[in-house]
Amino acid sequence: MRVLAPPAERCQDTRVGAPAWREAAQAMARTAHILTDRCGQEAVTMWQPKDSVLDPNVAHHLGRAAYIQPWRFRVEMIKGGGTLEKPPPGEGVTLWKGKMKPPAWYARLPLPLHRKARALQTTEVVHAHARGARLTAARLGRAQHQINGRVRQLLRQREVTDHRLSEVRKGLLINQQSVKLRGYRPKSEKVPDKADSMLTWEKEELKSMKRKMERDMEKSEVLLKTLASCRDTLNFCFKERLQAVDLMNQPLDKVLEQARRHSWVNLSRALTPRTQGQKTPPPDPVGTYNPACALALNEAKRLLVESKDTLVEMAKNEVDVREQQLQISDRVCASLAQKASETLELKERLNMTLGLMRGTILRCTKYNQELYTTHGLIKGPLSKVHLETAEKLDRPLVRMYQRHVGTQLPEAARLAQGTDKLQCHITYLEKNLEELLATHKNLTWGLNCKNIGHEVDGNVVRLRLRQRQPHVCYEQAQRLVKDWDPRTPPPRSKSSADP
């Protein structure tokens, strides 16, 4: 039968070393092992991201499989029953052969290429700043170019408006000269008529047009000064941005084409809802697109829109004023021409009446002369020596017949009665003749007045038609209005006076 040894004898240690010495060595080994594991784990952890550290409670191969599972390609069903493997979304390096896409690895400690990486990063930052500065400079330069174009358009429109303003002022001078010329008509022709009313109406309308054109000139002058100030601001910001791109040899237009932003190329163009390309960066006080540049570009955009509306309004006002002035001038000329035709009609009637009266006056004068002759024949000679025997009232036949009182002959009484009657007719005829001559004189004076009025109205129409021609400038019309009396010949110039 087998005999069991007691536990004390079975666990008896045959080792020579002391237990304390052995435990101290084992404790030292365990401490070194723990330190080795900890240092190795920490060293690996320093080079790995936080999410790559495996769970110590999970087996290594299981933890690694679970960690790299999101890296693998995904199989998707396509239309038609086939499959398509696509890498997972996000940043990382696609390994097409292994069909994996590990994410980007970010080290927590500087790598051996840290200096070179920082130099590359600095280069990228510098290049990004240069690209941003170049793009901002391109936008500023294009905005400055558009502002310059708008300034040129505004200057051309100001020239057109100023020419129209000079035409309106010339119209006022022509109106003044027309009134002055019509003032030289005779008093009988100065009765207020529709032609005077048309000239007064033309003057008021021309003054209204003049004020309108002057307001446009003042408004465009203020806008021109604002555009010039905005252009100077854009030029300053443009030169300031170009200080960072002195070494960049790429044209600025190419930069705008690469940006693929039509609204950057043309500030006056509205933004498209679906923009393909770079977006306008927010203003950054220390960046390439600082608030000063943003403010200058916004001001340029506002001025471009405002100046466009102003140019359209000025062009419309200029066309309206030109057409209105031409219509008013035509209406006034038509009124004056109608007045001249009416004066000519009245002049012809007066001339006909004057001719008929002239014939009547000649007939009355001849009849008056015949009456005077008859009166003289009836009255007889002035001296007795010229009397014949048959004409004497005391001739022998009459003296013998009148010896008695009742036998008086009526010859003397009849002669006296006939002489008195002829004298009455002669007096009445002379009175009518005087009235005819006075009326003839008045008709002649009225005819002369009508001639002068017709001539003056015709001269006014010809003056207006001649002075409103484009080749007649404002100074020529001004020299004409000064102190020239149309009843006297115009003064000779020095050039014509010199031989």
Domain coordinates of the chain in residue numbers?
A: 117-267+283-338, 349-382+390-483
**Under a CB-based contact definition with an 8 Å cutoff, are residues 307 and 231 in contact?**
no
Q: Is 291 helix (H, G, I), strand (E, B) or coil?
A: helix
pLDDT of 497 reads 42
**Under a CB-based contact definition with an 8 Å cutoff, are residues 45 and 62 in contact?**
no
Strands (E), 328-462: none
Task: Report the candidate in 422, 431, 434 with the shortest Cα–Cα distance to residue 375.
Answer: 422
Q: What string of pLDDT tens digits covers the 499 residues of the chain?
A: 455 555 555 556 688 888 888 899 999 999 999 999 888 877 777 766 666 656 677 777 787 788 888 888 888 888 877 888 888 888 888 888 888 888 877 777 777 888 888 888 888 888 888 888 888 888 888 889 899 999 999 999 999 999 999 999 988 988 988 888 888 888 888 888 888 999 999 999 999 999 999 999 999 999 999 999 999 999 998 888 887 766 555 555 555 555 555 444 455 555 554 445 556 778 888 788 888 888 998 899 899 999 999 999 999 999 999 999 999 999 999 999 998 998 899 888 888 988 888 888 888 888 888 888 887 777 666 556 655 555 666 566 666 666 666 666 666 667 777 778 888 888 888 888 888 888 888 888 988 988 888 888 888 888 888 888 888 877 777 776 665 555 554 455 444 444 3
pLDDT of 368 reads 82
CA atoms of 25 and 381, how far apart (whole Å): 200
Task: Report the candidate in 339, 454, 457 with the shortest Cα–Cα distance to residue 465.
Answer: 457
pLDDT of 139 reads 85
CA atoms of 138 and 253, how far apart (whole Å): 7
CA atoms of 357 and 444, how far apart (whole Å): 11
Contacts of 35 (CB under 8 A, 6+ apart): none
Instruction: Using the Cα atoms of residue 347, residue 349, residue 352 and residue 355 in order, give the sign of their dihedral.
Output: negative
CA atoms of 300 and 298, how far apart (whole Å): 5
Q: Is 118 helix (H, G, I), strand (E, B) or coil?
A: helix
**Under a CB-based contact definition with an 8 Å cutoff, are residues 381 and 387 in contact?**
yes
CA atoms of 168 and 175, how far apart (whole Å): 10
312: phi then psi, degrees, rounded to nearest 5: -65, -40
- pTM here is 0.65
Task: Report the candidate in 447, 200, 485, 470 with the shortest Cα–Cα distance to residue 335.
Answer: 200
Cα torsion 394, 396, 401, 405 to 10°: value is: 40
Place of tokens 């960690």: 67
pLDDT of 4 reads 52
Apex CA 321: angle with CA 320 and CA 323, to 5°?
Answer: 65
CA atoms of 143 and 137, how far apart (whole Å): 10
Apex CA 216: angle with CA 211 and CA 217, to 5°?
Answer: 95
